[in-house]
Amino acid sequence: MLEIKDLSRWLPPEAIGLYEERKFKELYPPQAEAIERGLLDGKSMLLAMPTASGKTLLAELAMLKAALQGRRSLYIVPLRALATEKYDSFCKFKSLGVNLGISTGDFDKRDERLGKNQIIIATSEKADSLMRNGAAWVKDLAVLVVDEIHLLNDAGRGPTLEMTITKLRRLNPKMQVIGLSATVANGREIADWLEAEWVSSDWRPVRLREGVICNGKLVFPDGEADLETKRDEALALVKDTLSQEAQILIFENSRRNAEAAASKLCGLVPPGQETDALSESILATGESETCQRLASCVARGIAFHHAGLLPEQRRLVEQGFRENKIKVIASTPTLAAGLNLPARRVLIKSYKRYEYGSGMVPIPVIEYRQMAGRAGRPGLDPYGESFLIAKSNAEMQELMEHYIFGSPEEIWSKLASESALRTHLLSTIAADFVSSEQELKDFIGTTFYAYQKPLEKKKPSDLALMHLITMTPDMDLLYVQAADSGVEEYIEAHQDELNHEENYDFLLREAKTTAMLMDWVGEVREELISDRYRIGPGDIRREAETAEWLMHSLAELSKHLGLGITFKAEQLSQRIHYGAGKDLLSLLNLKGIGRVRARKLYQSGITSFEKLKSADSGEIARLLGPKIAEKVIGQLKREEIQP
């Protein structure tokens, strides 16, 4: 057991006293492990622990130690609301003479004033802009804390976060990096990229019971309990929670649904004097209809919370919930991203959300864990409970297996997306962060993307180049039909050769087209290709003509840009033209010899132009037929085709 007082080896008495005044006595087991493995000795660490297990305290201690030594720390968060919360939390350090700064706004400002602070809190977007605008103090960081580092996996925020971390590490080679996250499947890989220790734990200060509501029952892995009604199970759960004088967080998949849920629940709680002042404070923040609806809900001890509220409105809701004046919050998932608002129960109303181009899709397991992890208040609740809702027993079993027993997803860099890579490369060059092509390559080589997929890769395969040309807008892709079940198997079998494609629907069509073209150059019979891909012979030739042109274009680009694939691409272009393997190309230059006749010659030992010239005319006639043989021999005699 490690106690706060045992940290006197690293922190002065006044710092120890600051925590003792706030009733901190002993560290949680994962906290003690991190300290023992060198967190306060300056070692970089990835802390992968459940919500409420004390990750933030560890980051605080590292930053406080640096601050008291006159060194600077940067704490990166994904949301402005989270930045404000962390700033308020760290204000306790002011009594020790530590200056704090926060920056989340104007992306065109250098903010040199922030440099006078020992601890600075910023969003990843703001940190990126500070470097692009040349803030000098970012080159003098002792500690970098990255909250919610698993957002590297987010297609929107991930690339900016990854580039920010990469640039800060390049500017500060000796900087301690502390990544904070819920448990991730490939945490060790992220830790290795950061050259950090990986501290992973499933320990929680409050036991979490995860369940699914189905057919009027609360179903847990180890048993079940009845709800009051089957008609409106969410309403019944809230009533049951309030009857226990406990609080509940309800996660909705949209702002509109969050507001509607809060309004619907207002009838459960009569107005009370303890919320009057809070309701009036919210009314004082604005005159919008949203403000009035929020104030009306808060008067009943109910609230909604989403990014559309003003910062002061969100702050009042969060404060009211912490003070137990607000009993229920209906929120969008942004509330799960690090805000310190635990509750006895959590209800995830919908496990699906809308994604452009894909419709309603299930949320990742790691996002479910973020929301479910809010259940259980340390020191106040004997346990926490989280619930999903299912409409049938089959769906209930599926949710149990996928979310409650399932493993979180692996984190993959999203930097390779065309728009993100273009933007960040241009900003890196424009900000004079690199001054030559080699420097740019060296820099990109230190990103998480390059760690997962090293830049100095082997030469691309024929299949990889074929897939590359199908990704261009000029390629007329084949449609994927219900009967094309083999396409997904093809993707699975060739995932190491296929290029990165974010849109899965596009990937399916590209993979089918690629497979057809590979069959074509692999000399699969036309009638078999037609049956396999449900296309006509004319479709095959049309696809091949376009592919030949695109592959030739790729060869020309390689020639001018020095990509090192000129010969392979030009050879593939010829193979697409003839629909044949590369071993037949010298024979196919002869008029009258297609891929079928060329293969007959090859299999008979006539494998090259020179061997054909020296072959017996009778043997050629036997293989090709008298008329074709006569034409071929005539060409050879006239030497119209040179080897």
Give the model confidence (pLDDT) of 584-594 as tens digits.
Answer: 777 776 676 77
Give the alpha-carbon dihedral of 126, 129, 134, 140, to 10 degrees: 40
Q: How confident is the model at residue 347 (pLDDT cuts 50, 70, 90)?
A: very high
Measuring CA to CA, which residue among 188, 120, 125 is closest to residue 151?
Answer: 125
Measured on CA atoms in the order 351, 319, 97, 34, is the torsion positive or negative? negative
Task: Point out which residues pair with 330 in neighbouring strands.
Answer: 250, 304
Task: Give 431 or 100, the one with higher predicted confidence.
Answer: 100
The Cα angle at residue 66 between residues 62 and 68, in degrees rounded to 5:
120
SS3 32: helix
Which amino acid, one-letter code, is at 232?
D
Q: How far apart are CA 41 and CA 596, in angstroms?
A: 71
Burial of 560 (0-12, 13-18, 19+ CB in 10 A): exposed
Mean pLDDT of 531-543: 93
The pLDDT of residue 637: 63
Q: Helices 311-322 and 276-283 sit at what angle, rounded to 10 degrees?
A: 170
Measuring CA to CA, which residue among 147, 177, 154 is closest to residue 339?
Answer: 147
Q: How far apart are CA 537 and CA 478, in angstroms?
A: 14
Residue 240's Cβ-side half-sphere holds a number of Cα atoms within 13 Å equal to 19
Instruction: Output the CA–CA distances (angstroms, integers) from residue 212 to 247, 248, 482, in the order listed.
Output: 18, 16, 32
Q: How confident is the model at residue 620 (pLDDT cuts 50, 70, 90)?
A: confident
Query: Could you count the other beta carbons within 10 Å of the beta carbon of residue 454?
Result: 10
Decide if pLDDT at 108 tops 60: no
- The secondary structure element, H or E, covering residue 210 is strand 207-214
Tokens of 166: 């990469």
Task: Point out which residues pair with 478 in neighbouring strands.
Answer: none
Q: Integer distance in angstroms from the first to the last C-alpha of the chain?
A: 81
The pLDDT of residue 502: 81
- The pLDDT tens digits for 3-47 are 999 999 999 999 999 999 998 999 999 999 999 999 999 999 999
**Least trusted range by pLDDT, from 316-330, 538-552, 610-624:** 610-624
- The pLDDT tens digits for 462-472 are 999 999 999 99
Tokens of 610: 């020179």
Tokens of 182: 């819920």
DSSP single-letter state for residue 246: -
Going along the chain from its start, the domains and CATH numbers come out as 4-200 (3.40.50.300), 207-404 (3.40.50.300), 458-579 (1.10.3380.30), 584-638 (1.10.150.20)
- The pLDDT tens digits for 233-281 are 999 999 999 999 999 999 999 999 999 999 999 988 877 778 999 999 9
Measuring CA to CA, which residue among 162, 104, 236 is closest to residue 411?
Answer: 162
The runs of H, that is alpha helices, within 172-226 are 187-193
Identify whether the C-beta of residue 353 lies closer than 8 Å to the C-beta of residue 328. no
* Beta strand extents in 175-245 (DSSP E only): 176-181, 197-200, 207-214, 217-220, 223-226
Q: Helices 311-322 and 289-298 sit at what angle, rounded to 10 degrees?
A: 10
- The pLDDT tens digits for 188-202 are 999 999 999 999 999
The pLDDT of residue 555: 94
Task: Give 586 or 456, the one with higher predicted confidence.
Answer: 586
Tokens of 495: 């995932």
Query: Could you count the other beta carbons within 10 Å of the beta carbon of residue 486?
Result: 13
Helix and strand numbers (H, E) in the chain are 27, 17
Tokens of 23: 């009733």
Which amino acid, one-letter code, is at 5?
K
Instruction: Output the CA–CA distances (angstroms, integers) from residue 574 to 136, 392, 404, in the order listed.
Output: 55, 57, 54
Decide if pLDDT at 106 tops 70: no
State how far Cα 513 lies from the chain centre.
Answer: 28
The pLDDT of residue 641: 45
Measured on CA atoms in the order 584, 588, 590, 595, is the torsion positive or negative? positive
Identify whether the C-beta of residue 477 lies closer than 8 Å to the C-beta of residue 513. yes
State how far Cα 588 lies from the chain centre.
Answer: 48
Identify whether the C-beta of residue 262 lies closer than 8 Å to the C-beta of residue 297. yes
- The pLDDT tens digits for 368-383 are 998 999 999 888 888 9
Decide if pLDDT at 350 tops 70: yes
Mean of the per-residue pLDDT values for the chain? 89
